[in-house]
Copies of this chain bind each other. A is one copy, B any other.
């Protein structure tokens, strides 16, 4: 039973940190402004998430692969917006 609760906490953590970037994508899509957003943050984050993805592929861990594929797409979109809108 406790193992189930721990799994639910881990799963919830993964879902939340993965979908967290959606509101920023939507906001920037509408606002077309990225002045206050750090380019360096999203650059480091995208590389880091990409390495998590590579790590997930190496250890064949599907949750890591799925979560980081989605996060990588979302952070890359924010990064492209940042480059586009400055």
Contacts from A to B (Cβ < 8 Å): 6, 9-10, 12-24, 26-28, 31, 33-42, 44-45, 47-49, 51-52, 54-55, 58-59
In this complex, what residue of B is CB-closest to A40?
A: B23
Chain A interface helix/strand/loop/mixed: helix
Chain A to chain B contacts (Cβ below 8 Å), 11 pairs: A10-B55, A10-B59, A13-B52, A15-B48, A17-B49, A18-B48, A20-B41, A20-B42, A20-B45, A24-B41, A28-B38
Is A6 within 8 A of B59, CB to CB?
A: yes
Residue of B nearest to A75 (CB): B20
Cβ contact within 8 Å between B16 and A44: yes
Residues of B within 8 A of A23 (CB): 38-41, 44
